[in-house]
Structures are given as structure tokens and as C-alpha cells.
């Protein structure tokens, strides 16, 4: 088996960030994905998203050339999904907008991945992950009290971006099964990030969350939900939110609740945090990992990527492959009958070769 999306054909108009990440996942899940890229390598010869190109065939084309544009439209006519990640209006100017593509293939799912969305005052403005999460309130909530801290580019680009365009594609394919018709999917990172924020928004609406950074349950203020420095320079992560887990945390640290500030009083959190920090500083990270192994205290070592690839649990699941600086992820989620497979990039070809294989009986 080649994954649950075997037989689904995807045309990806090459872009950066979340769109190629979504295309990578479609390929992992078994779809036949063709990347259509410009006729020349990027400036400097390096494609920033090379690491996201696995599992796809590449066709180089100058879409301003009528012959190449016609070839791309022929491919679209045979496809199930068209995925693009450019500013609004770009594909329309190229002659590959929704109107043109749905005209040649009414069953097509036309997926658009942007930061700001297709409509709105900022739709055509430049931006990156940090800008999208800043406007939605998410960045304001993250980091130490002194200033917001961007959480890599995982929340906007990939959490609010590629995961939501992928959800939209799969939902539109499912709906097409009953209606027989394709449609346009408008996936905007500002929308996706806002959906990811729903728990925090709900807590805020009932006065269980405030807009002051590092003063809430899940933002590092609570002593039982943060990381601690250990002897030797490592850190552990603590997530002992529930009382029963907190009790096991104290047992593991050799502390008694009666001797500590009340964990349910936020005013006492600084003093409680100091007590827990002093305890964790007495051993190394790895010593604490052994001490809490198999215990429901919600204490785990904070690992680097290189260390994560060697972790026994992740190794048993095959979550990563490789080591050191050469680590790759395994496809997710897992399937019982149609397992997803991470394939290397499939090299370059031309429109005619792809069309011949797609049209083969």
C-alpha cells in the first residue's frame, strides 16, 4: 500500500514555507505530487525549502511562456488538487487562477495558502510567521514578561498554516465525493492561528487568563508548568498540573507540600518556583530523567534535536531517522492498513511524462 491518499494527484505551484510542507505531507500520505517551479534555480542556487521536497516530482516551467502555461493547465485538468502559496492575485496574473483551473477541471480542489488570507486590508501585504501570530494576539501571550518571544516558526507557518490548508484539502476532497464538484480553499495563517487559540480565548472569557505575559497557568508562570535548570546545564520540563501529578512531583523531589507555599495561590507562585528550582538544581538533567522514569509526575528531560533522535521512546516509534545534524521526521499520523511512507525527492521530469503516467489506464 502507498498510503491512504494513493491515487490522488496534486499539482503544487512552488512556494515557500507552509505550502511545500503541506505538499510534503500529501506525498507522505500517498498522493502523487508534482512541483511546478521556475525555469532557473533560486538566487544563489539554494532553495530554502529543499528539505521539504521529499516524495515529489519536479517540473521546471516558465509560466509566462504560452506553451509551458498550456502544459500546466493540462496537468491541472488531470489533477485532484492544485496547491499554491502566493500573494492574492499572483496565480490569476499567471493564468492559473481558480477561474481558469476550475474551467478545465470542475472537480478540482483549488487550495490557497497565505498569511493574511485572500480578502481584507492586509491581504496583499508581505509578512512572515512572526507577523501573523503578532496580529492575532498569540505572540503577545508568549515568552517572558519583559518581551514577547517567537516560538520558532511552528505556530504560524505550520500549525496555523500547513495543517489548516491540509485539513481544507482533505475536507474538500471528502465533500467532492458526494457533490462531484471541486471548490476553492482559502487557508490563512491568521485564521488558523486563531482557531489554535480557542482554549486560551475561552479561558480569557471566563477570567481564567489575563493579557499579562508569564502570569497564567500555561505560560511559564505556574511553578508546576515550566522548565527548570539542573546541575550541569541541562533542563527538565514539568507539567504537573493536576493535584495527583503534583504530589508525585514532590515525592520525586523529596519535598513535602506542608513545607511549601500553596500551589493554588498565584501570589505564592514565585516562592514555590524558587523552592522547586533549588531542588532541581541538585542533580543533573539525566539523573532526574532516571528518577522520574515511569512515574506520572509529568517530568521529562528537555532534549536537543540530536538527543531526541536517540530517545528510546521516539526510537521505538521510529519518530525520527538519522542522527546529529542529519535528522528527518517520519510521516504522521500512523495508519493500520495504508501506512504513510516518506520518499526521497523524485527528481525532475517534464509535463509530457507526467501527463502520460497520469492518463495511463
In the chain, count H helices and then E strands.
14, 12
Name which of 351, 308, 268 is nearest 36 in CA terms.
351
- Which grid cell is 35? 512541483
- Distance, CA of 352 to CA of 360 (rounded, Å): 12
Q: Which residues pair with 225 in a beta bridge?
A: 239
Would you call the peptide bond into 144 cis, given omega within 30 degrees of 0 as the criterion? no
Among candidate residues 28, 157, 186, 191, the one labeled active-site is 157
Among candidate residues 47, 128, 286, 329, the one labeled active-site is 128
CB 234 within 8 A of CB 286: yes
- Distance, CA of 118 to CA of 89 (rounded, Å): 9
Catalytic, 128? Answer: yes
CB 234 within 8 A of CB 302: yes
CB 346 within 8 A of CB 55: yes
- Coil vs helix vs strand at 321: strand
Please report which residue ranges of 95-136 form alpha helices under DSSP H. 98-104, 129-135
| C-alpha to C-alpha distances, 62 to 38, 85, 120, nearest whole angstrom | 6, 17, 30
Catalytic, 251? Answer: no
Question: What residues have CB less than 8 Å from 79, skipping those under 6 apart?
Answer: 9, 10, 11, 105, 108, 358
The C-alpha torsion from 67 through 107 and 159 to 293, rounded to 10°, is: -120
Q: Which residues are catalytic?
A: 128, 157
Amino acid at each position: 500500500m502507498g498510503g491512504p491518499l494513493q491515487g490522488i494527484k496534486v499539482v503544487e505551484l512552488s512556494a515557500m514555507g507552509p505550502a511545500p510542507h503541506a505538499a510534503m505531507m500529501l506525498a507522505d500520505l500517498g498522493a502523487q505530487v508534482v512541483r511546478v517551479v521556475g525555469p532557473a534555480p533560486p538566487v544563489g542556487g539554494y532553495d530554502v525549502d529543499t528539505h521539504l521536497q521529499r516524495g515529489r516530482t519536479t517540473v521546471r516551467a516558465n509560466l509566462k511562456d504560452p506553451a509551458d502555461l498550456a502544459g500546466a493547465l493540462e496537468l491541472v485538468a488531470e489533477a485532484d488538487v492544485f496547491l499554491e502559496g502566493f500573494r492574492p492575485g499572483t496565480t490569476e496574473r499567471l493564468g492559473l487562477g481558480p477561474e481558469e483551473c476550475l474551467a478545465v477541471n470542475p472537480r478540482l480542489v483549488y487550495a490557497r495558502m497565505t498569511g493574511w488570507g485572500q480578502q481584507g486590508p492586509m491581504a496583499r501585504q508581505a509578512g512572515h510567521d512572526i507577523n501573523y501570530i503578532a496580529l492575532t494576539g498569540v505572540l503577545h501571550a508568549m515568552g517572558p514578561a519583559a518581551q514577547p518571544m517567537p516560538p520558532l516558526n511552528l505556530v504560524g507557518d505550520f500549525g496555523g498554516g500547513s495543517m489548516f490548508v491540509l485539513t481544507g484539502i482533505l475536507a474538500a476532497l471528502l465533500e467532492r465525493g458526494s457533490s462531484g464538484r471541486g471548490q476553492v480553499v482559502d487557508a490563512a495563517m491568521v485564521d488558523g492561528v486563531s482557531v489554535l487559540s480557542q482554549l486560551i480565548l475561552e479561558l480569557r472569557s471566563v477570567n481564567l487568563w489575563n493579557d499579562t505575559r508569564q502570569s497564567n497557568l500555561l505560560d511559564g508562570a505556574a511553578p508546576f508548568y515550566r522548565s527548570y535548570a539542573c546541575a550541569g546545564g541541562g533542563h527538565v520540563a514539568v507539567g504537573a498540573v493536576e493535584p495527583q501529578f503534583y504530589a508525585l512531583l514532590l515525592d520525586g523531589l523529596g519535598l513535602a507540600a506542608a513545607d511549601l507555599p500553596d500551589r493554588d495561590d498565584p501570589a505564592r507562585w514565585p516562592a514555590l518556583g524558587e523552592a522547586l528550582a533549588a531542588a532541581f538544581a541538585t542533580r543533573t538533567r539525566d539523573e532526574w530523567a532516571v528518577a522520574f522514569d515511569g512515574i506520572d509526575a509529568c517530568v521529562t528531560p528537555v532534549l536537543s534535536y540530536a538527543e531526541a533522535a536517540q530517545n528510546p521512546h521516539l526510537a521505538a516509534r521510529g519518530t525520527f531517522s538519522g542522527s546529529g545534524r542529519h535528522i528527518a521526521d517520519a510521516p504522521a499520523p500512523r495508519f493500520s492498513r495504508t501506512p504513510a511512507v516518506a520518499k526521497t525527492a523524485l527528481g525532475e521530469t517534464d509535463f509530457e511524462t507526467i501527463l502520460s503516467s497520469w492518463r495511463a489506464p
